[in-house]
Structure 1
């Protein structure tokens, strides 16, 4: 009896199918396992994860490594999620002439302008002077209110205030004349004194008007047209905010250097074309489609995209030991996105939303790293290890074990880094394609668009549904339904948007975004990546290029388990009259384990 382990090294997980094959060719499946992939797919760093996955399967089957006859690996083509999937935009590095801020609890209402003055210096001011008070943390709200009231009584025009503590409402409640007060300015020591400033607070539910408008800022500070251009990022950062502070800093502080987003040079097998990033993802992907299959992709030197792609080559070169010049990018996926860009000169981490392009790059390497993994596995486990097949072809064989499937059949293998498509015809011919961009890119887009700076949190937002805790005893789910609880929920969840894991566990999202905004970002990110790649893959594997000629599509891979992605793809394919659904590998595994199962089955006919 021959015992075989099929090992699928993916971008996110490593899966094993363990099976015995009797002399008559009968396959008996013994066990499966799934562990997190260690390192970047297709490198020697994968080895610990592979060993762990094999050992887990062996334990489930109750056998030892010495009982294994053969280990069969997939050909792993890396998609560098944590390196290649960066956001490309035009970065403006500047010491702005303005700074802005928007706390959660401002006080007062209206617009006030004056010269920034430390509150302790108010007694030295003259009658009739217009000032904006700067209140550091050591001055509490009672002392601040007393000093402002005293100055006002002497005829000093206190038009507004900026406070370091969370004291705005407490200060305003103690003033004889109400003024706009913006608090929570964490870096108040950076607020320049003796400079013209404007403070604006809108009514609850409203947004600032003057300071969210570059021409409004220009009016307040009497700016020239050139200076007005410089405050556009500030105005954009303050749009939709209830409160804002803008302070004019001294002349000479303005320094601007632009790092352009740049252009992509896309090289096909016969000719190449250049596409400017500013033309957007649609123009980029149209060029990719026209020149497919790609020989390589470069970025314009000295630009954001040029630096990103060179970083990809550098990282892969160091991981695989291959020369940098041998690193060829065989596919890219570009999607339009919106990202928060930090406004330089801010006193509390202000951001402006900027249009950008998200890129996923697939790097074609030689078989050397996989051969090194195979050789090391042979040494460690004492079991012959071979590189057995291309992922898409193996996934097809695995998918055909789904009950109710038969040739001809198309599959979409939706993973963490790549989306593979394959079609097997009635006579057994296989057409396959391997595309950049999958679950990891969705996570990157969610992380970027929501400004989370936490990929683990973005991953959870991708995987689970949302809710809003409206009281300590009830939760409104994202579909509008309400859940009630007999016991009170933890107080830290009150009025927060939460991720609902496994129906019960609730994780609060720290970002100040509405449930609707987070849900829309999540769904749009999935559509941009998975629906786009599903249609790309099916067009490429269909001999005629017409998707309508397909009848059945089976979804496999880890991302096919997602609670939204299969439905989105099914909806997109419904207009073509295609039957689409999740696979159930071997009738037991769901959409997982297709490649690993295919690696075992391909041993029987010598394919792959």
Structure 2
């Protein structure tokens, strides 16, 4: 009898399967384990994680390392992925012509149109003049309210107010007539005086309508058709806001400027293509498919994408000791997205959603680093360590232990940095592909589109469902279900959108409604996982026709996600494909496929029909 360990080094986790191979060739699985991968996959930094996972599995099986006859590693060439955003457009507001932000509590409701005047000049304004009062720092809210009331009594038509401090509600509550008030304007000293202005505040829960509509702005300021074209960036930047101010200056020049985002050069076996990033993700991916298989990808020097691609090469070169010139980008995934960008020329730190392209890139190196891991592990543990087989092929062997599967079979292994696919035919011919883009890219999209600036929070939003805390004793989940609690909930989650984790609720500090957060999360997963699933399966399918695949088994960490597997299954249903999460050995779920396949690939071994003894 020989005790064999299969070790799968993944981007995020390292998995181990322990089994005994009996003299008659039958295989009995004893235990399995999982540990966090230390370092970048396929480098000697993985050793501590491998040892931890091995010790854990051996402890479950009641064995020691000295009892192992052989350790089998997956033949995974090291892969490093990176992601970057390249903004395509930018809203430029010159001559200080816009204030459009969402202070927590603007005052009043409605639309006001008038000439901007300084607070100190309010007593000198003539009756019937329509004005917007600009109240700088250092003015007490009571004094401001008294001065506006005095002006209203004299017949001055005060249409609204713009305030530096957080005083809008305090001022509005003391006025004899309701007017819209926008506060928290950081650069109020830059607000031009004596200029036509429009100010709008919507009701709570609503968004502005007039100033977010270019024709609304044209109506307010009596603009020509040519001038209306110029205010489109302003209107677009104000969409979704509860409050806004637009000021027209004689020299004002408002424009949407296209920033040269650079280009990527994709070199493949079928040719070479240069694609401008501002052409969008679909054009980039179409070029990738035209020239694939990809040999290398380069970005224009001096751009985000150029820096990202070179950084990927440099990091892998340093980790593997291989020459930088030999590093090649073997795949990229481009996704259209929106990124909140600070409006250039705004007065209150305004942000607008700008078009961007997100890119994931992947470098594949030689087999050499994996051999370094095997040699080091042999030296440290005193057990023979071999590189047993190609990762995707081992995953297929493991996936075939899922009840209800048969050849021909395809697998989808969706991890943190890459999406792998492989197919095995009835006559045991295997084909595999390794593509850039997976869980890390989804996290990046969520983090950017929701303006979280918190990777860990974005990761939690990706992994868990949402709920809205509607009282201290009940929540409404994102599917509409109401859940009640006997004990009151923590005060800090009251009226917040929360993430429902196993150990409790995590409030989301952003003010986005639950529906928007859910939409961003699901769309990010579809754009990455569903796109890459179809792309990968098409590459490995016979004659590149995905309809020739009968069974698809999803394995890997992302297959455990509460909605990704359903999304991929729905996308493949129209092709008549049986698709679902794997259940490796009937007990592991989608985990441990590669590690199990490594054990099953041991010469002379075959699988027992019974369940594992002491599987972890």
Distance 1:192 1:68, change over 3 A: farther
Corresponding residue SS for 1:544: helix
Corresponding residue SS for 2:601: helix
Cα distance in 1 for partners of 2:47, 2:136 equals 55
Give the gaps of 5 or more residues in structure 2: 607-616
Contact 2:233–2:255 under 8 Å retained in 1: no
1:263 positional shift: 2.4
Cα distance in 1 for partners of 2:117, 2:30 equals 75
Cα distance in 2 for partners of 1:586, 1:111 equals 69
Number of the residue aligned with 1:294: 294
Cα distance in 2 for partners of 1:460, 1:208 equals 32
1:102-143 per-position Cα deviation (integer Å, ceiling 9, x unaligned)? 2232112222443363x4x35775546776445466544333
Contact 2:90–2:354 under 8 Å retained in 1: no
Number of the residue aligned with 2:112: 111
Between 155-164 and 105-114, report the one with greater CA deviation: 155-164
Aligned pairs for 1:193-232 within 5 A: 194=193, 196=195, 198-214=198-214, 232=232
1:174 positional shift: 0.3
1:556 positional shift: 0.8
Cα distance in 2 for partners of 1:463, 1:237 equals 31
Distance 1:220 1:548, change over 3 A: closer
Contact 2:421–2:540 under 8 Å retained in 1: yes
Number of the residue aligned with 1:413: 413
1:178 positional shift: 2.7
Number of the residue aligned with 2:610: none
Aligned pairs for 1:55-454 within 5 A: 55-77=55-77, 80-81=80-81, 84-90=82-88, 92=90, 96-97=94-95, 98-100=97-99, 101-108=101-108, 109-115=110-116, 117=118, 119=119, 121-122=120-121, 125=124, 127=126, 132-135=132-135, 139-153=139-153, 158-185=158-185, 187-188=186-187, 191-192=190-191, 194=193, 196=195, 198-214=198-214, 232-246=232-246, 259-454=259-454
Distance 1:472 1:166, change over 3 A: farther
1:49-89 per-position Cα deviation (integer Å, ceiling 9, x unaligned)? 333322322333333333334333223445545xx222223
Distance 1:242 1:401, change over 3 A: same
Paired residue total? 601
Matched, 1:530 2:533: no
Distance 1:24 1:190, change over 3 A: farther
Relative to the length of structure 2, the TM-score reads 0.87
Contact 2:116–2:134 under 8 Å retained in 1: no
Cα distance in 1 for partners of 2:205, 2:91 equals 33
Distance 1:102 1:116, change over 3 A: farther
Between 395-404 and 283-292, report the one with greater CA deviation: 283-292
Corresponding residue SS for 2:542: coil
Between 539-548 and 342-351, report the one with greater CA deviation: 342-351
1:511-570 per-position Cα deviation (integer Å, ceiling 9, x unaligned)? 222222222222222222222222222222222222222222111111111111111222
Between 272-281 and 518-527, report the one with greater CA deviation: 272-281
Cα distance in 2 for partners of 1:64, 1:325 equals 44
Contact 1:192–1:249 under 8 Å retained in 2: no
RMSD: 3.3
1:189 positional shift: 6.2
Cα distance in 1 for partners of 2:138, 2:544 equals 70
Cα distance in 2 for partners of 1:437, 1:51 equals 28
Give the gaps of 5 or more residues in structure 1: none
Contact 1:96–1:231 under 8 Å retained in 2: no
Cα distance in 2 for partners of 1:432, 1:285 equals 20
Number of the residue aligned with 2:584: 585
Contact 1:145–1:175 under 8 Å retained in 2: yes
Contact 2:398–2:594 under 8 Å retained in 1: yes
Relative to the length of structure 1, the TM-score reads 0.88
Cα distance in 1 for partners of 2:192, 2:447 equals 37
1:214 positional shift: 5.0
Cα distance in 2 for partners of 1:154, 1:566 equals 68
Corresponding residue SS for 2:452: coil
- Which fold has the larger relative contact order, with Cα–Cα distance below 8 Å and residues 6 or more apart in sequence? 2
Contact 2:415–2:438 under 8 Å retained in 1: yes
1:231 positional shift: 5.7
Corresponding residue SS for 1:360: strand
Contact 2:77–2:366 under 8 Å retained in 1: no
Distance 1:189 1:297, change over 3 A: same
1:4-36 per-position Cα deviation (integer Å, ceiling 9, x unaligned)? 332222222221222333444333323222222
